[in-house]
Homo-oligomer: A and B are copies of this chain.
Amino acid sequence: MIEVIFLGTGGIKPTPERNVPSIAIKIGGEIILFDVGEGTLRQMEIARISPMKIKRVFITHFHGDHYLGLPALIQTMSLWKRKDPLHIYGPEGSSTFLQNLLNSGYFAPSFDILVHEISGKSRLKFKEYEVWAFEVSHGVPALGYVFKEKDKRGNFNLKKIKELGLEPGPWMKELERQKIIEINGKIVRLLEVTGPKKRGAKVVYSGDTEPCDEVIEFSRRGTLLIHEATYVNEEDRKDSYHTTIEEACEIWKKSKARKLVLFHRSPRYSFKEYKEKALSICPQAIIPRDFDRIAIEGAGDVLFKIR
């Protein structure tokens, strides 16, 4: 099971009622952060999430509301004598930006900070999950991300095991590791004795963007599409590189992702006003508040919201 935790659901600037963007994904004992708006450290304190569990941070782009919370996070990790390296991923320009950020005051990180600049479509493989990146359209180098939990093997099928003249036993652990082993003179493949693969959750985060096809492409069969919907209509959006609720809803429908979360709400709307408007346009959409959590079992078979 993974958990998507909304640490900041608003955009542009904080208001008393919600902070600027940050999404944490919890998988096992690890926390992955997507965007780190100013004040994210305090939001993590309130959500009781330890910064020390963060291995990787993915920044969509370098507008202030998406990254200014990084130095305080780094400062606190140092205060707590972190040793593990911190990996920060971001679009073109990230290294210079982050270097300048850490040269903006007296910082002495107690750990290595490794910056990975991403341009174009990228697929990053890690132990339990992958992260894919794709470029979006926001007037400055900007990325959307996909968090893809690794698929898991199907359940062991006792009937099939017995048909091979075998009995359940420790060999199954070995088979799980090797995918194919020899036992009692027989070659056994994992796929032969297990049910259908359990697809891992797929969470897509658009970052800031005007409507763009890449999001549809990368959200196909996704579990959760978190799409910015900064404005309720085009009139409010004017010529900024953002998306309206209606457009986000269209993109979601085209992508056939299971669920849509509307994100990065402009400070001009109260939650109530925005939610009413959003549900009138897109009744199935989820409109999170800061600190809402969505737990996802597998590829979305079980999806429930914990508050």
Contact = CB atoms under 8 A, between A and B. Distances in A.
B140 A63 contact: no
Contact of A72 (B38, B75, B96): B38
A64 B105 contact: yes
11 contacts: A13-B72, A13-B76, A15-B45, A38-B39, A62-B105, A64-B71, A64-B72, A100-B101, A100-B103, A100-B104, A101-B104
A269 interface: no
Contacts of A68: 38, 68, 71-72, 105
Interface of A: 12-16, 19-20, 38-39, 41-42, 45-46, 61-65, 67-69, 71-72, 75-76, 79, 96-98, 100-101, 103-107, 140
A45 B14 contact: yes
Given A65-B72, A68-B72, A106 B13 contact: no
A46 B106 contact: no
A230 B68 CA distance: 25
Contacts of A12: 79
Contacts of A104: 62, 67, 97-98, 100-101, 104
Given A14-B42, A15-B45, A41-B38, A63 B100 contact: no
